[in-house]
Amino acid sequence: MTIKVAVIGASGYTGGELLRVLATHGNVELVHATSREYLGKYIGWVHPNLRGFYSNLKFGEVDVDRISDKADIVFTNLPAGASLEIVPRLIEVGMRVIDLGPDFRLRDPEQYQKWYGREHPHRDLLERRVYGLPELHRDRIRGVDLVACPGCNSTATILTLMPVLRDRLVEAGRVAVDVKVGSSEAGRKPAPGSHHPERANVMRPYEAEGHRHVAEVEQELIEFAGDGLRVAMVPHAVGSVRGVLATAHVWLNEGVEEQTIWRSYARYYGKEPFVRIVRGGVMRYPDPKYVLGSNFCDIGFAVEGRIMRGALFGAIDNLMKGAAGQAVQCMNIMLGLDEVTGLMSPPISPI
């Protein structure tokens, strides 16, 4: 079976990573890739790592009718706000859509208004879309026509916290997550803070008083933790190009020990193809360096029994499990393919 795929926003970082993964997937053919800035240019002209792949394909326009004629499924990799206009038109013409942007992640339109500062014009789509985190919503992703993929900070944070909240091992009312992120998270378009002399070697906190990803983290985890859940999240820009490390500081409930946490992670992730529980070895805790280029999320933890505190760690490649890899995992599920198709390559090391 060959599935025909289109990628809208294919010249950016998540779009480029999607093209990289799809190039060796085996069950898909890329039939359309869009860029307004690079319209008419070959793929390898913009993404030099893809030279020799897609040799006959040039960037095309966001032409919904043409895309629906040619493709079975479409990925949209657009900045906040842009999907609001394009995704509904794709759904209207019968396409199945996997959106990597934030516009359809929040189920509640009031929350969208609060965190994104604009009214959501497509409440009907919010009701039927599924949040694209397979470890939580695999069964619902299967039959749906619109998947809203999580943000990369949210993916690392939710996967790190879900088991311990679900098993009521930690105080849900005070969870503090410190997230370190590489520069590719900000996308390809340059900004004053992302210009190399300003961005290289930084350890810079940002959006410390309410990062938008908190909204989706609470939305997804409240179901397991109850209404008392309170998550504080402070992202830090660091000098690497790829990678997210989420460190969740939690206070342990009575009787919780290292083994209790270990068993909780093993229960929920023991059979997950892309979650690895890290313990021991030369590198004792998860580090994004050891998942780069892969769809894995490495999870680990430390327990300080003296003060009943836990530090829980989740490491991903923001462009893979945080974006393109996760999106392809969702596509595989939607299409009834083996979930790991095209994704089971080990991380690159050393890098």
Contacting residue, 187, 222, 230, 258, with ligand NAP by CB under 6 A: 187
Residue 37 or 92 having the CB closest to ligand NAP: 37
Q: Does 188 bind ligand NAP (CB under 6 A)?
A: yes
Is residue 152 part of the annotated active site? The answer reads yes
Q: Does 151 bind ligand NAP (CB under 6 A)?
A: yes
Only one of the segments 112-120, 167-175, 296-304, 314-322 lies at the binding site for ligand NAP (rule: CB under 6 A); that segment is 314-322
Question: Do residues 141 and 334 touch, judged by C-beta distance below 8 A?
Answer: yes
| Rg, the chain, Cα only | 20
Cis peptide before 350 (omega within 30 of 0): yes
Question: Do residues 246 and 217 touch, judged by C-beta distance below 8 A?
Answer: no
Q: Does 184 bind ligand NAP (CB under 6 A)?
A: yes
Backbone angles phi, psi at 282, to 5 degrees: -65, -45
Q: Does 116 bind ligand NAP (CB under 6 A)?
A: no
Closest-CB residue for ligand NAP? 12
3-state SS class at 19: helix
Beta bridge partners of 247: 178, 313
* Distance, first Cα to last Cα, the chain: 35
Annotate 231-257 with b (16+ C-beta within 10 A) or e (fewer).
bebbbebbebebbbbbbbebbbeeebe
Calpha distance 36→11 (Å, rounded)? 9
Residue 151 or 300 having the CB closest to ligand NAP: 151
CB of 114 to ligand NAP, least distance (A): 18
The encoded tokens of residue 265 equal 């992670």
Q: 222-281: which residues touch ligand NAP (CB under 6 A)? A: none
Contacting residue, 23, 57, 82, 302, with ligand NAP by CB under 6 A: 82
Only one of the segments 77-85, 260-268, 295-303, 335-343 lies at the binding site for ligand NAP (rule: CB under 6 A); that segment is 77-85
The encoded tokens of residue 320 equal 């893979």
Only one of the segments 73-81, 134-142, 252-260, 283-291 lies at the binding site for ligand NAP (rule: CB under 6 A); that segment is 73-81
Residue 264 or 326 having the CB closest to ligand NAP: 326
β-sheet with 175-181: strand ranges across: 203-205, 231-238, 175-181, 244-251, 309-316, 297-304, 275-277
Contacting residue, 3, 5, 6, 11, with ligand NAP by CB under 6 A: 11
Q: Which residue of the set 149, 152, 297, 330 is catalytic?
A: 152
Tracing tokens 């009031």 back to the chain, one arrives at 110
Residue 212 or 276 having the CB closest to ligand NAP: 212
Contacting residue, 22, 71, 91, 102, with ligand NAP by CB under 6 A: 102
Question: Do residues 100 and 14 touch, judged by C-beta distance below 8 A?
Answer: yes
Q: Annotate each residue in 319-338 with x if it binds ligand NAP (CB under 6 A) or - if it does not, as one string.
A: x--xx---------------
Residue 286 or 325 having the CB closest to ligand NAP: 325
Contacting residue, 29, 37, 124, 257, with ligand NAP by CB under 6 A: 37
Contacting residue, 90, 100, 159, 297, with ligand NAP by CB under 6 A: 100
| Burial class of residue 145 in the structure, from the number of CB atoms within 10 Å of its CB (0-12 exposed, 13-18 middle, 19+ buried) | middle
Using left for φ > 0, alpha for ψ between -120 and 50, and beta otherwise, residue 117 falls in left
Beta bridge partners of 34: 60
* Contacts to ligand NAP by CB under 6 A: 9-15, 35-38, 62, 77-80, 82, 100-102, 151-152, 184-185, 187-189, 318-319, 322-323
Q: Which residues are catalytic?
A: 152
